Amino acid sequence: MSQKILLIYNPKAGKGLFVQKLADVIDMFVKAGYRVEVHPTQKRKDAVDIARNAGGFIDMIVAAGGDGTLDEVVTGITMSGRDLPIGYIPVGSTNDYAASLNMSTSILEATGDIVGGEPQAVDIGEFNGDAFVYVAAFGAFTDVSYDTNQDMKNLFGHLAYIFEGMRRLPDIKSYNLKVEVEGKLHEGNYIYGMVTNSISVGGIKGMTGPNVYLDDGVFESMLIHSPTNPMELNEIITALLSGNVESTPLIEYYHTSSVHITATEPIPWTLDGEYGGNHQDVMIRNLKQRVRIILYGDKSDVLHGWRDIPGATGDDELGDGKFEVADSLKVISEEFGKILDVDV
């Protein structure tokens, strides 16, 4: 009997391009011997419920959408307790996780990679009992993704995030935190923090630091102190763009399997770019090789270290003129200086 795929897709993601290719995608799966059941998401968290309640007759779930759609599918499968392989067709605005795994952003090519690929185990994260795929973050600009209108994302792509981020500059807030990492307690005021299992965040490759592995049971954790002047802000941005995040004391960087963060007030968090709720006490754990993603070919270089991936460093991206989000950070730095009425 042929295997059955449950295809869950976000009809609004990626300027609606996937809907135009849907018949071709189904045809490719059918020609490869699969039976296909299709579900377009109807609302936020819909993919969680569909993936969690997928019947025992489903052999694979394919998520088509952005990072948020993949997050919901992974969350649903994790909640179900099943070990279903996951195919991913990235059609979002940023597609960080796909970039981390060198996955094609061509809809039909990504479909072909699923047909010809094999399941490979990767880590995911647990955030106060909820699952996330590659990043949990708080602070400056983390709410830009879910507060940016979907139509704006479709029309302007990365620029939609930039416009929204610029609007937020005067409202950057600092949080007083206690952070426990590997049995050591750190305390300070921070404008941003993220716990990641990815080489790409916000469209920026290499920002999560060196020696990143996606299946080793370890996160890359970064906390950014509050800058007191534009020079310190430039120091932070330079470190982020170069991938040399350990070059400044304004950034705390750790490789760790768990992080415990307590704040003096509830803080809004994002999980894989989607709103994750307000939390004052957060426990984040790495779930080593908890899910299986369908990958085509030998991805050992991708799973086992980002420095071997073409274009993985910020310098390469900037040199090729492709680093739109990195350029936007420079603009944001300049605008921050204007707000303080100081040259950057």
Q: Which residues are catalytic?
A: 274
d(CA 164, CA 167): 5
Cβ atoms of 282 and 269 closer than 8 Å: yes
Give the residue ranges of DSSP H helices in 140-284.
144-147, 150-156, 158-168, 230-242
Query: DSSP string covering 99-161, please?
Result: HHTT---SHHHHHHHHHH-EEEEEEEEEETTEEESSEEEEETTTTHHHHS-HHHHHHHTHHHH
- Cα-atom radius of gyration of the chain, to the nearest Å? 20
In degrees and rounded to multiples of 5, residue 318 shows phi and psi of -65, -40
Q: Tell me which H or E stretch contains 31.
A: helix 17-31
Amino acid at 29: F
Burial of 169 (0-12, 13-18, 19+ CB in 10 A): middle
Cα 29 to chain centroid distance, Å, stands at: 27
CA dist 321 and 303 (Å) reads 26
